[in-house]
Amino acid sequence: MGSILLVAVLILLVNLPFGYWRATTRKFSPAWFVAVHGAVPIAVGLRWLAGVGFRWSLLPLFVAAYFGGQILGSRLRRRAA
């Protein structure tokens, strides 16, 4: 369970800069697409390195961490501007 929570926190942290960047891009532009999806390989790699793999039961946690990082990053950008 500890490695699952660690991976979720790392996924959230990895997505902060991507969300920060996404806040400055035009929606559905190529840069926006990369800002939203660029961290997916990193998230998959973190799960693989931690030995978590893919389980349907963990998907909501990792999706929440992913988009939580995106949202927090974009809010940080708006607050900095």
Nearest 5°: CA angle at 31, between 50 and 17?
45
| pLDDT digits 0-9 by tens, 18-65 | 999 999 999 999 999 999 999 999 999 999 999 998 899 999 999 999
pTM recorded for the entire structure: 0.91
Domains of the chain by residue range = 2-80
3-state secondary structure the chain: CHHHHHHHHHHHHHHHHHHHHHCCCCCCCHHHHHHHHCCHHHHHHHHHHCCCCCCHHHHHHHHHHHHHHHHHHHHHHHHHC
